[in-house]
Amino acid sequence: MSAAQSQSTLKAKLKALQCHFTWDIDHNSKFYRIKDKLEDIGTEEGNSWLGHIYNLQGYIHCELGFTEDAQCFLSKATEAFHQSRKDSDEGPWLLVNYGNLAWLHHRLGEEAESQTYLSKVDTLLKEYPSPSQDELHPEIYAEKAWTLMKINQEKNELVADCFQRAIRMQPDMVEWNTSHVIALAKAHKYGETPLEEEIVEKMRMAKEQDPENLYLAALELEQRALREERIEDEARELARKVLENPVSSYSGMKVLLWVYSKHISVDEAIALAEEALEKNPDVRYLKWCAALCYKWKILPDRNSHETTIQRAVNLHTEVISLYPNPSSSLVKKIALANIYAKSRHGLAKAEQTYQELLATKLEPAEKQMLYFYYAKYLHFNRKDNRASIKYYMKAAEIIQDNYFQGKSIEALENFKDRNPGSPMFREIKEFLDKLRVQNS
């Protein structure tokens, strides 16, 4: 076989692999934000998704051009899978990892090493065929679902389908079932109403199977609180367990703080966050959790104390410095601007922060979020309806079927309905009519 034919055959085999490099993952600035999120999960022993975490970190670092780091993470993934599946060194859980390594070595021009990992994948597929002839191996479906859940939240249906296929073929994997339920709950991220009873029932069953998963426990408490059950004592008991466990975004701390702030007391949420931060003063994730609690207290309050506002400003400023990438810091800078606006002399700083963000190069979904929050700020803090409507329109015309587009359209509809005599009535009506035609 000629060198050209050999190269063509290698590329065809690489494209046929099931791994991060072939899963049609969006390539954009979101990778830096995902990189930060993965770092905040932590690497404590016993995390059943540790191999998958390292696998995704390896892929992201490769796409960002950090190939040495990518190789290090993919090697850590291999080791983590060996540690977590102690009954065997080799198994189908390594299929995605070996596929990633084959791609990485190909990118590095190391074709012999790439071929070695392609051979390892072939061997595993022969030794561990899928239980269902027409489907991928359940280990592949599970890792693909977990990966898309972390990167492409808009692909909720595909995530659910992959988890369901994996669980149907291998129902004894508790962590798959738990993550499937968490994915179903996350699909309703911005909802303030309870989940459908079918999902809540799955959540209860998952909690029985996975009683040590504190993240799931916090989600289940939130659902019960939304159904107006009394959950205060259980929430406080869960808080003690979360505080005793290793710090991680998987610990349930952020969800629990949200439950406290919405259904118990935002001041208790702040106290819990400050206690966690006192125990772990250098953990940036906990600083972000504490900053969120202060935001939840200050933004709905017309008369927050200046010392509370200053603590919130300090926390947000520090957190922004710890998440320096623009994609990771955008939400935090928007929050800081809105907190500035609540201070006696902070409107100028708020406006400056927003103007700096508006001048930043952002992805369409990020722009939409920024326009939405700036429109709210203009309406509520600067009492500038004309400018507010302009930015609600800018947010609404970005075609993203999500919370921010929906809420922007709702704000425009409300203004139109309440102000039929306004000079802007016709402009808003024409805009919304045109938008409906575009979306139909």
The domain locations on the chain are 1-128, 362-440
Q: Are 54 and 74 in contact (CB under 8 A)?
A: yes
Burial of 340 (0-12, 13-18, 19+ CB in 10 A): buried
pLDDT tens figures, 138-176: 999 999 999 999 987 778 889 999 999 999 999 999 999
Alpha-carbon dihedral sign for residues 81, 83, 84, 90: positive
Farthest CA pair distance, the chain: 78
6's CB contacts (< 8 A; 6+ apart) are none
Q: Evaluate if residue 1 carries a pLDDT over 80.
A: no
Q: Which residue has the higher pLDDT, 353 or 400?
A: 353
Quote the distance between the C-alpha of residue 165 and its chain's center: 23
Contact 130, 98 (CB under 8 A): no
Most confident of the following: 86-90, 128-132, 194-198, 371-375: 371-375
97 pLDDT exceeds 90? yes
Q: What does the pLDDT read at residue 299?
A: 95
Q: How many CB atoms lie within 10 A of CB 155?
A: 17
Helix axes 284-298, 326-340, angle to 10 degrees: 30
Task: Name the pTM for this structure.
Answer: 0.93
Could you tell me the CATH superfamily of domain 1-128?
Tetratricopeptide repeat domain (1.25.40.10)
Question: What number of other Cβ atoms are within 10 A of residue 36's Cβ?
Answer: 19
| Averaged pLDDT score across all residues of the chain | 93
Which pLDDT does position 28 carry in this prediction? 65
Whether the per-residue pLDDT at 87 is higher than 80: the answer is: no
Overall average pLDDT of the 117-122 stretch: 97
When computed from its CA atoms, the radius of gyration of the chain, rounded to whole angstroms, is 24
